[in-house]
Amino acid sequence: MNRLYTRLLGGLLLVTTVGRAQDLAQLAQTKPKDLFKGGFQVTGSVSAQHIFYTVSGIEQRRDPFNFFYTGNLTVSLFGKINMPVAFTFSNQNLTFSNPFNQKLQYAQPFNRLVLRPTYKGFTLHLGTGSMNFSPYTLAGRRFEGVGLEYKPAKKPYYVALMTGVLQKAVRIDTTYSVAFNQPAYKQVGMGLQVGYRKGADRAELILFSATDRLHSLPYTLDSLRIAPKQNAVASVKLAKTLYQKWALSAEIAVSGMTEDQRAHRVGIPSGFFRSFGGLLSVNASTSYQKAIKTALAYQGRGFTSGLEYSRVDPTYRTLGAYYFNNNLESITANLATQLLKGQLSLMANAGLQRDNLDGARFQTLRRFVGSGQAAWVPSQRLNLMVQYSNFLSYSNLRSSYDYLTQVTPYNVLDTLNYRQISQNIVSSINYQLKSGKEVTRLLSTSLIYQSGNDRQGTQQQGTRLYNASLTYSHSLRSQHLSLAAALNLSRNELQSFNNHLWGPSLIVNKAWKEEKLRVSGSLTYSRATTHLTEDRPYAPPPTGQLWNGRVSLGYTMAKKHQWQLSLIGLARPATTSADPAVRIQPAFRELTATLGYRYQFTVFDSRR
């Protein structure tokens, strides 16, 4: 028994990899009979989803058959250590799922395997994982490798680190046999996050680096204008609470990007800080950019307010994020309060934003965004809400000739001024009609108004959208039955034509056998009418109709097996017109069927 206990303890040391010495010491000193009281459990679930699609009258808009398989397995030891494993599998990347398939080298893999054991404050990421340090450093980019987080609940410090492959090498598909072939070098990365917290106060340091492996391919990608990059990012985050009412936070990040690792290095300074402590190879293609974000919040009696400022340099990038907005400076303010003993809630936001921070682009865009919301709940049966937002942007666009012939940055000749104004108003009213324990009746309505106005010089264009909906719902609790009827009306005013759309909807939901069997269905009819306001060579059809039907069936057996079947059908009659300028739409019918199954299981539970 002692030998078994020793081997088991050694396995735990291997799984946790890095741990607190005092925790492992306590675990080692725990008696075997007390250790096993927490039990040993292995649980999980698997699910399968098959999607069938058919259409007649038009070209198909998706594949006729798709499947998705997912699963997870969780091993729990002694009630303290959890080791979940997850996988996904789909025919969308079926060709590349086999690691011995030669086509694997022509695309990034889709299917993945995840192992994420946890123990107290530790979380270990094995296989395919993602971590989030900050928006300016590592922001949820997927990697194949190892990650470790240590965030104890009762300790002021925390740390997280990762290392792995951010992107596998992808070769050029000269046979054109693989869809979405995007050649790339192998890219590896590593990151470190160290922080200290005390209540709401905290200080944090983040380091992240990523490198393209030039020799991961037997050739270069210069013909595609893809160079091997290298990136290093350092960030400092601070947060401080003052006088229990003020909250100040800030983040400053600096990113160094080497666009081509092969560029010359002669005469290029590369000290400790310029190379981020040796994480970045500095050469003639290296540039440095910064990102700043600060926020100040105040918690008053009955209200909250805040002010936020951010600035991201024009070419700031990090290889730890899939997408990034740069060349942007913004400042926003917000205010929220409650009146009438909490019945009335008011919120307001306003902000200014501009781009082209270095003046290198033809166009400079300035924006003003303001929004407000009021929610009033005068009684338990009635609530009202109104939202308003205003978007104003002003662009200063220089012609190419002016841009190329200016002597100094201040020698700007005639410019093209472009202004865009958009407004959005949303309101809703919900009223609960006289109901009882058995019956619940609800009447709701919503109104939406949107307008846009574009002006460039003396030319002006505008659009308007009006939408109104009315919904009545009726529920019978004992019969597990709910019915709903809705009517939707909309009008869209464009420069050359106006469009009217209206249609009713019916929705039914029913459950049987203690809600083990659920059935839901809906039917929607919509009719569109178009009126031209000016002559056009090609016009949309004057009228159009569309039927949309949905049916869903779900059944749960023994709390472990779940079946799901759904059908979605679309049908559109053909449109005809004697006017040759009117586009004729053919009739079509479309059906999408989804069959799903999910099974929850317990492989072993020593507590039973």
pLDDT value for 523: 94
pLDDT band at 419 (very low <50, low <70, confident <90, very high): low
**Has residue 301 got a pLDDT over 90?**
no
Whole-number Å distance between alpha carbons of 144 and 108: 12
The residues, any chain, with a CB within 8 Å of residue 295's CB and separated by 6 or more, are 247, 248, 249, 250, 306, 307, 308, 309
pLDDT value for 358: 84
pLDDT value for 539: 56
Question: Which of 74, 102, 69 has its CA nearest to residue 88?
Answer: 69
- Dihedral class, residue 133 (left if φ above 0, else alpha if ψ from -120 to 50, else beta): alpha
- Taking only the tens place, the pLDDT of each residue in 183-197 is 999 999 999 999 999
Whole-number Å distance between alpha carbons of 391 and 414: 26
**Has residue 215 got a pLDDT over 60?**
yes
573's tokens: 């009659």
**Has residue 517 got a pLDDT over 60?**
yes
Catalogue the long-range contacts made by 125-133 (C-beta closer than 8 Å, 24 or more residues apart).
125/149, 125/162, 129/162, 129/164, 131/160, 131/162, 131/191, 133/160, 133/191, 133/193, 133/206, 133/208, 133/235, 133/320
Q: What is the pTM of this model?
A: 0.71
Please give the average per-residue pLDDT across 546-572, as a whole number: 92
Ranges of beta strands (E only) in 457-513 are 459-476, 481-493, 497-512
pLDDT band at 534 (very low <50, low <70, confident <90, very high): low
- Taking only the tens place, the pLDDT of each residue in 489-511 is 999 888 777 888 999 999 999 99
544's tokens: 């159009």
Whole-number Å distance between alpha carbons of 135 and 97: 31
Contact 295, 249 (CB under 8 A): yes
DSSP string, 332-377: EEEEEEEETTTTEEEEEEEEEEEE-TTS-SSEEEEEEEEEEEEEE-
pLDDT value for 463: 84
Site of tokens 């009739």: 587
Q: Which of 114-123, 260-269, 306-315, 421-430 has the lowest mean pLDDT?
A: 114-123
- Taking only the tens place, the pLDDT of each residue in 473-487 is 999 988 889 999 999
**Has residue 27 got a pLDDT over 60?**
no
Site of tokens 């990697």: 143
How high is the mean pLDDT of the chain?
82
Which of 166-180, 511-525, 580-594: highest mean pLDDT?
A: 511-525
Please give the average per-residue pLDDT across 576-603, as a whole number: 81
pLDDT value for 454: 64
pLDDT value for 456: 56
Whole-number Å distance between alpha carbons of 533 and 498: 7
